[in-house]
Amino acid sequence: MGRSRLFGVNILVTIYYVEGLGSGQNEYFERAIGIGRVINIQENGLIQVLAPREVSNHAELWQRIRSRDMATLSRIIIKPSIDFGEAGIEVLFDE
């Protein structure tokens, strides 16, 4: 992952895989495939993410990621947020 001010060590991130939906360049879907944690930001700005939670129905995709398949890695997006349900906390809203 490349340099970004949005990331810091130990923040939680969501890992997405970009899938094409049609023939157009803008027709794609970002599928959440895991939750991770930034474990290192190198001097050159590259970010390393550890993924302790992988969506189980994407085992074959995760195998390609671990094998460093460049076609697969080029379709990975990391966002500096996680799904509210994954946070492990309960927040009450006044309604």
Q: What is the pLDDT of residues 16-49, one digit of tens each?
A: 999 887 776 678 899 999 989 999 988 888 889 9
Query: What's the average model confidence in pLDDT over 63-71?
Result: 94
Q: How far apart are CA 81 and CA 91, in angstroms?
A: 16
Contact 59, 43 (CB under 8 A): no
Whether 93 shows a pLDDT value over 70: the answer reads no
Contact 15, 1 (CB under 8 A): no
> Among 44, 52, 37, 51, which Cα is nearest to 7's?
37
pTM of the entire predicted model: 0.77
Q: Residue ranges per domain, the chain?
A: 12-83
Q: How far apart are CA 73 and CA 65, in angstroms?
A: 6
